[in-house]
Amino acid sequence: MNLSLLAQAETKPSVTSIWDALKAGDYEALFAQLLPILTQVALLLVLLFVTYFIASYVGRIVSSSMRKAKIDETLTRFFAKATRWSIMIIAIISVLGYFGISTASFAALIAAAGLAVGLAFQGTLSNFAAGIMLLIFRPYKVDDVITVSGTTGKVFEIELFTTTLDTPDNRRIIVPNASIFGSTIENITYHPVRRVDVAVGTEYTADIEKTRQILLQAATQSDAVLTDPEPMIYLLQLGASSIDWSVRVWANTEDYWAVREAITQNVKNALDEASIGIPFPQLDLHLDPSAAQTLTASNS
């Protein structure tokens, strides 16, 4: 038998003895019986008070260390709070066990509650886990332009459960983190420079080398076009109705759309000045003479 528990049982005052002392007005006996209880309660409060300060101190250490490591603020706050509450829960269970209170039921209750919460919030927990992974690996950050789950927008906020995007037409889209982490992520603004491709077709009567020089000159007219890497003109293919070209220049990522529009306009103006046509798809229909006669006879 546990001797400490036996000693506690022998010295622990009963409710009956306390009530008898209170009715008899024997306050000395009442105080003597309540003193062990009050001492234990005071000790319990002191231990919890000290534990609270220790948990807060450790939480601040965790928070400070993660900030020095330049870890995301949301993740920093989460781990700091998780550390603080973990210390508090462990301390409370330990204190209860020290005072002879069985903690097996508490452990079973916590396990059952954890299982119930896990089953009830399975989707939420998957979003939470995905949010943790996104904050750790950082495939994108706030103000990046990304494409995820078929949606393109600027990242407004990254939270533990969702990521908020603002689309180019000023719509706000909230995407669950689980759908982001489990799919392909395109970070459009990850690199500081991007290549701008402008496709154009010219008529078959146009001279190839002359067309190449005209397109190259049109590509270099914009001040936002970078000279390194230098602009390139590629002859892609001989299409069904046109000679297909690709004008490829490099620009700063924030200038992408402005450069694309400028290059498209410059190419059109340059080809017009050189009297080089931009053909549209067309189909030549050849009718067999005998079939034409038969068709004419049937209509007459």
Instruction: Let me know if domain 10-117 sits in CATH 1.10.287.1260.
Output: yes
Cβ proximity of 188 and 145 under 8 Å: yes
What's the pLDDT at 5? 41
> Which tokens belong to 215?
């397109």
Cβ proximity of 165 and 195 under 8 Å: no
Which pLDDT tens digit goes with each residue over 230-266?
999 999 999 888 999 999 999 999 999 999 999 999 9
Q: What are phi and psi of 3, to 5 degrees?
A: -70, -35
Q: What are phi and psi of 156, to 5 degrees?
A: -95, -40
User: Do 10-117 and 193-273 show the same overall fold?
Assistant: no
Which pLDDT tens digit goes with each residue over 118-132?
655 566 778 888 888
CA distance 271 to 273: 5
Task: Please give the CATH number for the structural domain made up of 139-187.
Answer: 2.30.30.60
Bridge partners of 174? 164
Q: Which CATH number fits domain 193-273: 3.60.20.10, 3.30.1360.70, 3.40.190.10, 3.30.70.100?
A: 3.30.70.100
Segments in the chain below pLDDT 50: 1-11
Helix axis angle, 208-219 relative to 256-273, nearest 10°?
140
Residue of 154, 174, 152 lying closest to 163 (CA atoms): 174
Give the residue extent of every domain in the chain: 10-117, 139-187, 193-273
> Which tokens belong to 70?
């330049």
Bridge partners of 176? 162
Which pLDDT tens digit goes with each residue over 174-190?
999 999 988 899 999 99
What is the pTM assigned to this prediction?
0.59
Residue with tokens 């306390």, as numbered in its chain: 18
